[in-house]
Amino acid sequence: MAKALTTKAIEAAKPGDNRREIPDPALSGLYLVVQPSGVKSWALRYRFAGKPKKLTLGRWPVMGLADARAAASDAIEAVELGNDPGAAKKATKAARLEAQLSERDKIKTLVGQYGKRHLSTLKSGHHVKRELERHVVAVWGERDIHDISKRDVIDLLDGIADTGRVVTANRVRAYLGKFLNWCAERDIIDQSPAMGVKPAAKEKSRDRVLSDDEIRWFWRACDDLGQPWGHLGKTLLLTGQRLGEVVGMTDREVNGDTWHLEADRTKNGRAHDVPLSEAARAVLGAVERVRGAAGYVFTTTGTSPVSGYFKGRNHIAKRMTEIASDECGEAVEIPHWTFHDLRRTAATGMARLGIPVRVTEAVLNHVSGTAGGIVSVYQRHDYADEKRAALDAWARLVGDLVDGRADNVVRIGGAR
């Protein structure tokens, strides 16, 4: 009687010129298969419905001798119960493959690939991916891209625009259109369902500037809300910088009374120094830091900057309305404003103080207007002192407005 296979015998089995099958006398039908390459695996030969069948069980040594015998015994038991283990394995494999293919074409999966393969190479890629995740993946994440129609695209954009965010709807349209074109280029879909979709609505040039009363209510609302939105709102107002730049601020960028932005952190690709007024430094100093490798100032996790700006703005706006109504003794309706309007408010405030336009543009890191064209090529003066004086004056005005002492504004220079 042949001896049952042992681990030692399996290890000693040598490959030949042809494929070998070594039976295991301990279990009829179980074989150790040795390929000419030296790869060893387990297989079970059995009969089902009168026909010979073969079932691959697994590779040695991942599947040891005891595991192979157990798997073979289970398969033999299935045959005795009238089930074909080979057919069951094929069905399981097919279901797994179908699930993988289904996952592959989901919007959330494809947006992730788009971010990795395309957006990661773009300066604005992080922003675009964040907007796609906020407005597209949040709604369509589990849907198959082949099920997305032009009507779906229109409904998505209308839903955003109906909340008053027309500009956001139009930006999402642009980002979504490029994403779907990328999918078409990679033969994932035949044609972008966003093709021919018009902007949700015509954008109007905004000129919203917070009034003196609104600045006071805004500041007090930020006082009440605290971290993170209160501190973020105050910093936006005092510095006049862009939302994305302020949100991404890290402690490493701040050196004493100057906040330095590298070129890759600014919209126009130019490095920028922002003088920090005493008031701005006080706000930043009051932020309770959440530790993280990046060193973000405005964060709740330590791993990424704060997000959910629309909700954050709404928190401040709601509190502003409550403060205004209490102060006036009746319901007050404050016109809609955005975080970007704080930047315009700062610029308008500096003009009110008589600060030259070219200095205000330097503060805002603008390259248009008086700082554009040939002037931007030959005029290398960085206006460091003028920028500091302008932001210090603006901070004093904000403080006076908050404290009710801004009846007479002192101009620090003639607007030129």
| Residues 6 or more apart whose Cβ sits within 8 Å of residue 315 | 225, 229
- Distance, in Å, from the CA atom of 57 to the CA atom of 69, rounded to the nearest integer, reads 10
Please state the rounded mean pLDDT for residues 60-84.
Answer: 90
Categorise residue 226: left if φ over 0, alpha if ψ from -120 to 50, beta otherwise: left
Where residue 393 sits, what CATH number does that domain have? 1.10.443.10
Categorise residue 254: left if φ over 0, alpha if ψ from -120 to 50, beta otherwise: beta
Please state the rounded mean pLDDT for residues 58-77.
Answer: 91
Whether residues 251 and 331 share a domain: the answer is: yes
Q: Does residue 384 fall inside a structural domain?
A: yes
Q: Does residue 205 fall inside a structural domain?
A: no
Q: Is the pLDDT of residue 65 over 60?
A: yes
Which of 99, 128, 150 corresponds to the end of one domain? 99
Whether residues 399 and 326 share a domain: the answer is: yes
Where residue 51 sits, what CATH number does that domain have? 3.30.160.390
Residues in the chain: 416
Whether residues 114 and 233 share a domain: the answer is: no
Whether residues 19 and 112 share a domain: the answer is: no
Number of folded domains that form the chain: 3
What is each CA distance from 336 to 42, 159, 164, 318, 349, in whole angstroms? 71, 18, 9, 11, 19
Whether residues 85 and 123 share a domain: the answer is: no
Q: Does residue 224 fall inside a structural domain?
A: yes
Q: Does residue 412 fall inside a structural domain?
A: no
By the 8 A CB rule, do 272 and 261 touch? yes
Whether residues 335 and 259 share a domain: the answer is: yes
Q: Which residues pair with 275 in a beta bridge?
A: 258
Give percent of the chain with pLDDT exceeding 70.
Answer: 91
Structure-block tokens of residue 403: 């404290």
Per-residue model confidence as pLDDT tens digits over 189-219: 999 999 999 987 776 666 889 999 999 999 9
Which of 99, 115, 143 corresponds to the end of one domain? 99
Q: Is the pLDDT of residue 415 over 80?
A: no
Per-residue model confidence as pLDDT tens digits over 121-140: 887 788 889 899 999 999 99
Residue 83: domain span: 7-99
Q: Does residue 191 fall inside a structural domain?
A: no
Whether residues 11 and 85 share a domain: the answer is: yes
By the 8 A CB rule, do 253 and 259 touch? yes
Per-residue model confidence as pLDDT tens digits over 321-361: 999 999 888 898 998 899 999 999 999 999 999 999 999 99
Whether residues 155 and 225 share a domain: the answer is: no
Which of 59, 75, 99 corresponds to the end of one domain? 99
Q: Does residue 193 fall inside a structural domain?
A: no
Whether residues 229 and 360 share a domain: the answer is: yes
Whether residues 259 and 137 share a domain: the answer is: no
Residue 122's pLDDT is 83
Q: Is the pLDDT of residue 377 over 60?
A: no
What is each CA distance from 17 to 20, 34, 35, 38, 407, in whole angstroms? 9, 10, 9, 10, 99
